[in-house]
């Protein structure tokens, strides 16, 4: 009876990993395509917010690729993957802040039309990713950190759309800069959350491993 239960549990975990892998491949492809599109339009429209959001897409694509790599590995590797995601978010947050500061020294104008249109397309793509990841948000730390990245994408997209509307109405590029800084702050906040959770998980895994080793000693 016990063997039967263990076998059923093993099959359940295997099926969950297969489903996780399928979802991660889809969101990886979506984020890679959106990065290229957003970066191109952001550069042409001189949008700090859109460039920042495109870098987030690139970071997410790299994160999802790493998540796939550790999918069938142990808890320690999945915690390390989550920690890496946190540091990626931290790096891109600081990068966007630097870009916003550089723009303040030059022209602040932005082409609101292309910026807003691209942000709407990105919102649609990220909404789909968020929907796919929703059912896996509580599977483990690896998938939870992935879901948090997707949630941030939706907030950032809505903020970019708002900035495009305000820029079009006011004729000023300041809403774009403000939103770009806001996206950076969001990156940094998520980075702090994910890094903190990952470090606690790694400490717990290390403590459990040490306890197990001591109990085996004669």
For 61-80, what is each residue's pLDDT tens digit?
877 777 677 666 666 776 77
Residue among 105, 93, 57, 106 nearest 180 (CA): 93
Tokens found for residue 14:
């295997």
At residue 124, the pLDDT reads: 94
| Burial letters 143-158, b for 16+ CB under 10 A, else e | bbbbbbbbbbbeebbe
Q: Which helix (H) or strand (E) holds 70?
A: none
Which pLDDT belongs to residue 2? 38
Cα 120 to Cα 44, 132, 157, 180, 198: the distances in Å are: 17, 19, 7, 16, 33
For residues 48-75, one letter each, b for 16 or more C-beta atoms within 10 angstroms of the residue's C-beta and e for the rest, the string is bbbbbbbbbbbbbbbbbebbbebbeeeb
- Measure the CA–CA gap between 130 and 28, rounded to whole angstroms: 12
Contact yes or no for 159/64 (Cβ under 8 A): no
pLDDT tens, position by position, 80-117: 777 877 887 788 778 878 877 877 776 667 888 889 99
Residues 58, 28: Cα–Cα separation, whole Å: 9
Name the stretches of the chain with pLDDT < 70: 1-17, 67, 70-75, 78, 106-108, 138-142, 208-218
Query: Smallest Cα–Cα separation from 140: which of 199, 191, 79, 202?
Result: 79
Least Cα distance to 56 among 142, 208, 179, 171 occurs for 179
C-alpha triplet 206, 211, 213: angle, nearest 5°: 95
pLDDT of residue 28: 86
Q: What is the CATH code for 2-216?
A: 1.20.1510.10
Distances from the Cα of 184 to the Cαs of 32, 99, 121, 131, 191, in angstroms? 20, 10, 21, 24, 10
Tell me the whole-structure pTM to 2 decimals.
0.67
User: Is residue 46 left, alpha or beta, with left meaning phi > 0 and alpha meaning psi from -120 to 50?
Assistant: left
């Amino acid at each position: 009876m016990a063997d039967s239960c263990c076998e059923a549990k093993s099959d359940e975990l295997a099926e969950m990993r297969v489903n996780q892998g399928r979802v991660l491949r889809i969101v990886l492809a979506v984020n890679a395509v959106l990065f290229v599109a957003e970066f191109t339009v952001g550069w042409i429209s001189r949008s700090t917010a859109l460039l920042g959001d495109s870098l987030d897409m690139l970071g997410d694509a790299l994160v999802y690729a790493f998540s796939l790599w550790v999918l069938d590995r142990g808890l320690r590797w999945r915690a390390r993957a989550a920690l890496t995601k946190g540091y990626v978010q931290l790096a891109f947050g600081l990068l966007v802040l630097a870009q916003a500061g550089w723009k303040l020294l030059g022209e602040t104008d932005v082409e609101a039309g292309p910026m807003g249109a691209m942000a709407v397309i990105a919102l649609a793509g990220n909404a789909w990713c968020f929907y796919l990841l929703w059912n896996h948000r509580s599977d483990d730390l690896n998938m939870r950190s992935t879901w948090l990245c997707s949630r941030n994408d939706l907030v950032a997209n809505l903020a970019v759309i708002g900035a495009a509307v305000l820029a079009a109405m006011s004729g000023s590029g300041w809403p774009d800069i403000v939103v770009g800084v806001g996206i950076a702050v969001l990156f940094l906040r998520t980075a702090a959350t994910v890094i903190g959770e990952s470090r606690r998980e790694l400490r717990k895994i290390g403590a459990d491993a040490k306890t197990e080793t001591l109990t085996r000693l004669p």
